[in-house]
Amino acid sequence: MNANMLFAKLVQHLTSYNDAAVLWILLKERADCKEIGVSVNEIASLQLCSTVAPKTVHRTIEKLRQMGFITVRVQHKSKTLVTVNRGAVLELLNQPLPERLPACSQKTFPFLDAWNVQLEAKAESNDQPSD
C-alpha cells in the first residue's frame, strides 16, 4: 500500500473526493498519532492546491467529525485542533471493496496500454542527455 493507493481506497469507501482528500491530508500530517493544528485555508490553498474551496474543507471537517473519523477542538482565534481516529479509519479500510471498482480493478484495456506507451516514451526522452 502506498499513499496513492490509500487515497484511491478512501475515495472508494467514502464515495467523496473531498472527504477522502481532507482525511488523507490529516493522515499525511500524522493526525492519527497526535493532535494537530489545521487551518481550513491552508488545507484548501496549499495542501489541495485550491482545487477545493475553504468552505468545502470546513464542511468536510465537520462531516468527518460526525462520521467519527476525527475529533475536533476549536480554539478561539487559533487553528482548529484535529485528531484522526485511527481505529475508525482502519475499520473503514478493512471493509472489502468489490473488485470491479476503479481503485480495485486490475483490468487493462487499450486506452491504458496506449497511455503507458506514451508515458514510457516521454520518460525515455527525458532520460536522454541533451547536446
pTM metric for this prediction: 0.86
Question: What are the tens digits of pLDDT across the range 6-23?
Answer: 999 999 999 999 999 999
CATH tag, 3-99: 1.10.10.10
DSSP string, 54-120: HHHHHHHHHHHHHTTSEEEEE-TTSPEEEEE-HHHHHHHHTS---TTSTTT-----HHHHHHHHHHH
- Asked if the model's pLDDT at residue 127 lies above 90, the reply is no
- Asked if the model's pLDDT at residue 69 lies above 90, the reply is yes
Parse the chain into domains and list their residue ranges.
Answer: 3-99
Q: What is the pLDDT of residue 79?
A: 85
